[in-house]
Chain A
Amino acid sequence: MDAVFKALADPSRRRLLDRLHARNGQTLSELCAEMDMTRQAVTKHLAILEEANLVVAVREGREKRHFLNPVPINDIAERWIGKYERGRLRALADLKKNLERED
């Protein structure tokens, strides 16, 4: 669990997860094109995310595709969110999202 928190504590790594959340299964080159960082920096961040099991890399031919793995985040949420809180928390999250939406 320490590895997950450490991996999530960096804004660039959270942005990488956001990119995969928007489009799952991207290659390193695709991710680099969307990130304002060197290829080495993206590679390093991806390694930390893989170490924390937040990203799973699958080899396909000569390339590796990267998939967002939300299971460790769910494990953390389940640890502190109770049976009856889930629905209410989702309703609150939806309310916040709607109120903060800019349109």
Chain B
Amino acid sequence: MSSQYVYVTYIRTTPQKLWEALTTPEFIKRYWFGMTQESGWVPGAAWTMKFADGRVADAGEILESDPPRRLVIRWRNEFRPELKEEGWSRCVYTLEQDGEVMKLTVTHSIDKEKAKLIEAVSGGWPRVLSSLKSLLETGEGMPGSHNAPKT
């Protein structure tokens, strides 16, 4: 038995803009509550999620990359020992055109029943996806979703 969450959000944007939003570190920072991700975004490339102060939160590698349709990340927590010991999880982004809008599906799973990692990220994903939707549709992330000063 494994642990899995599936999140779906519909965003009024283009496939290209959505792909860039998911793979551009400076843009990620604006909707991921100050955190960012760095990677070469091609299969085999290292992937890291960092706190605003530069500490590594999660790390892994890109397993599949098919822009602008599908991105698969091998993902492990790095800063909480009890989550790190659960090992590798798998995060799949699927981007699909649905009429005028884009359907973004995030599937996060791990081969472990009642995994603490999946529980831990389940609080974050809905907020991150709401913020991403808001940023792409209105040009602004959710309040508090980025640390950059307002200009």
Bound together, the chains give a CA A53 to CA B104 distance in angstroms of 12
CA separation between A24 and B108, bound complex, in Å?
12
Q: Convert A54-76 into 0s and 1s, putting 1 for each residue whose CB lies closer than 8 angstroms to a CB of B.
A: 00101000000001011111110
Task: Please give the distance in Å from B125's CB to the nearest CB on chain A.
Answer: 8
Shortest distance from the beta carbon of A70 to any chain B beta carbon, whole Å: 5
Contact (A69, B134) CB under 8 Å given A74-B126, A83-B143 = no
The answer to whether B142 and A78 have CB atoms under 8 Å apart is yes
Q: Which residues of B contact A70 (CB under 8 A)?
A: 7, 126
A58-B142 Cα distance, complex, nearest whole Å? 29
Q: How far is the CB of B103 from chain A (nearest CB, A)?
A: 9
- B79 interface contact, C-beta 8 A: no
| Bound CA–CA A73/B4 (angstroms) | 19
- B105 at interface by CB-CB < 8 Å: yes
Mark interface residues in B1-21 (1 if CB within 8 Å of A CB, else 0): 000111111100000000000
The residue in chain A whose Cβ has the minimal distance to the Cβ of B109 is: A25
A82 at the interface (CB under 8 A from B): yes
Which of B127, B143, B144 contacts A74 (CB under 8 A)? B127
CA distance A97 to B142 in the complex (A): 27
Does A69 contact B130, Cβ atoms closer than 8 Å?
A: no
Q: Is B129 an interface residue (CB 8 A)?
A: yes
Who on chain A is nearest to B127 by CB? Answer: A74
Q: Any chain A CB within 8 A of the CB of B133?
A: yes
Given the complex, which residues of B lie within 8 Å of A71, measured CB to CB? 7-9, 125-126, 129-130
7 more A-B contacts (CB under 8 A) besides A58-B107, A86-B144? Answer: A24-B5, A53-B10, A56-B105, A71-B9, A73-B126, A78-B134, A78-B142
